[in-house]
Amino acid sequence: AQSVAQPEDQVNVAEGNPLTVKCTYSVSGNPYLFWYVQYPNRGLQFLLKYITGDNLVKGSYGFEAEFNKSQTSFHLKKPSALVSDSALYFCAVKGGSYIPTFGRGTSLIVHP
Protein backbone atom coordinates (compact mmCIF):
# COMPACT_ATOMS: atom_id res chain seq x y z
CA ALA A 1 0.00 0.00 0.00
CA GLN A 2 1.10 3.54 -0.57
CA SER A 3 0.08 6.71 1.23
CA VAL A 4 0.96 10.35 1.44
CA ALA A 5 0.44 12.85 4.24
CA GLN A 6 0.31 16.61 4.07
CA PRO A 7 0.25 17.53 7.76
CA GLU A 8 -0.78 21.15 7.29
CA ASP A 9 -4.19 22.13 5.95
CA GLN A 10 -2.99 25.70 5.52
CA VAL A 11 0.34 27.52 5.35
CA ASN A 12 0.56 31.27 5.74
CA VAL A 13 3.62 33.22 4.64
CA ALA A 14 4.46 36.82 3.93
CA GLU A 15 5.39 37.84 0.41
CA GLY A 16 9.15 37.72 -0.08
CA ASN A 17 9.69 35.15 2.67
CA PRO A 18 10.68 31.56 1.97
CA LEU A 19 7.93 28.98 1.96
CA THR A 20 7.78 25.27 2.72
CA VAL A 21 4.86 22.92 2.16
CA LYS A 22 5.38 19.57 3.82
CA CYS A 23 4.80 16.09 2.46
CA THR A 24 5.67 12.66 3.83
CA TYR A 25 5.01 9.36 2.13
CA SER A 26 4.90 5.62 2.58
CA VAL A 27 5.50 3.26 -0.34
CA SER A 28 6.99 -0.12 -1.15
CA GLY A 29 10.06 0.11 -3.29
CA ASN A 30 11.41 3.23 -4.92
CA PRO A 31 9.00 6.14 -4.92
CA TYR A 32 7.95 8.40 -7.73
CA LEU A 33 7.01 11.72 -6.09
CA PHE A 34 5.06 14.63 -7.54
CA TRP A 35 3.82 18.08 -6.64
CA TYR A 36 0.79 19.69 -8.26
CA VAL A 37 -0.77 23.12 -7.85
CA GLN A 38 -4.44 24.00 -8.20
CA TYR A 39 -5.55 27.58 -8.69
CA PRO A 40 -9.21 28.48 -8.02
CA ASN A 41 -11.63 26.99 -10.53
CA ARG A 42 -8.85 25.21 -12.40
CA GLY A 43 -7.56 21.67 -12.75
CA LEU A 44 -4.44 20.44 -11.02
CA GLN A 45 -1.24 21.49 -12.74
CA PHE A 46 1.98 19.47 -12.61
CA LEU A 47 4.84 21.34 -10.88
CA LEU A 48 7.71 18.92 -10.48
CA LYS A 49 8.65 15.30 -9.88
CA TYR A 50 11.32 13.10 -8.38
CA ILE A 51 12.05 9.72 -9.93
CA THR A 52 15.76 9.20 -9.39
CA GLY A 53 18.99 11.14 -9.27
CA ASP A 54 19.63 14.44 -7.54
CA ASN A 55 17.62 14.80 -4.32
CA LEU A 56 16.89 18.46 -5.07
CA VAL A 57 14.40 18.81 -7.89
CA LYS A 58 13.62 22.10 -9.59
CA GLY A 59 10.28 22.78 -11.19
CA SER A 60 8.02 25.45 -12.59
CA TYR A 61 7.59 28.99 -11.21
CA GLY A 62 10.75 28.84 -9.08
CA PHE A 63 9.57 25.94 -6.94
CA GLU A 64 11.85 23.14 -5.83
CA ALA A 65 11.49 20.06 -3.68
CA GLU A 66 13.92 17.98 -1.70
CA PHE A 67 13.68 14.21 -1.57
CA ASN A 68 14.79 12.80 1.78
CA LYS A 69 14.77 9.03 1.80
CA SER A 70 15.57 8.56 5.47
CA GLN A 71 12.75 10.85 6.53
CA THR A 72 10.45 9.71 3.71
CA SER A 73 9.73 13.32 2.92
CA PHE A 74 9.39 15.44 -0.20
CA HIS A 75 8.84 19.01 0.96
CA LEU A 76 8.05 21.76 -1.54
CA LYS A 77 10.03 24.97 -1.20
CA LYS A 78 10.46 28.38 -2.74
CA PRO A 79 13.05 30.95 -1.64
CA SER A 80 10.79 33.99 -2.03
CA ALA A 81 6.99 33.69 -2.04
CA LEU A 82 4.72 35.72 -4.30
CA VAL A 83 1.08 36.60 -3.67
CA SER A 84 0.33 34.82 -6.95
CA ASP A 85 1.65 31.57 -5.42
CA SER A 86 -1.48 31.42 -3.27
CA ALA A 87 -3.20 28.19 -4.26
CA LEU A 88 -3.88 24.61 -3.21
CA TYR A 89 -0.87 22.30 -3.39
CA PHE A 90 -1.03 18.52 -3.69
CA CYS A 91 1.71 15.97 -3.10
CA ALA A 92 1.41 12.56 -4.79
CA VAL A 93 3.34 9.30 -4.60
CA LYS A 94 3.53 6.29 -6.86
CA GLY A 95 5.18 3.02 -5.94
CA GLY A 96 4.71 -0.28 -7.66
CA SER A 97 1.14 0.52 -8.62
CA TYR A 98 0.42 2.45 -11.80
CA ILE A 99 -1.95 4.65 -9.84
CA PRO A 100 -0.54 7.55 -7.81
CA THR A 101 -1.97 8.43 -4.41
CA PHE A 102 -2.67 12.09 -3.73
CA GLY A 103 -2.53 13.90 -0.41
CA ARG A 104 -5.45 15.96 0.82
CA GLY A 105 -3.83 19.19 -0.23
CA THR A 106 -2.37 22.22 1.56
CA SER A 107 -3.75 25.68 1.06
CA LEU A 108 -0.92 28.20 0.69
CA ILE A 109 -1.78 31.80 1.47
CA VAL A 110 0.82 34.45 0.72
CA HIS A 111 0.09 37.78 2.40
CA PRO A 112 1.18 41.05 0.74
Footprint of another protein (CB under 8 A): 32, 34, 36, 42-46, 49, 51, 90, 94, 98-100, 102, 104-105
Distance in Å, CB of 43 to another protein, minimum: 3
The single-letter DSSP state of residue 48 is E
Compare residues 81 and 105 and give the one whose CB is closer to another protein: 105
Compare residues 52 and 70 and give the one whose CB is closer to another protein: 52
Compare residues 41 and 70 and give the one whose CB is closer to another protein: 41
Separation CA 13–CA 51 (nearest Å): 29
Question: Distance between the two ends of the chain, CA-based, in angstroms?
Answer: 41
Distance in Å, CB of 6 to another protein, minimum: 10
Angstrom distances, CA of residue 40 to CA of 45, 46, 87, 92 = 12, 15, 7, 19
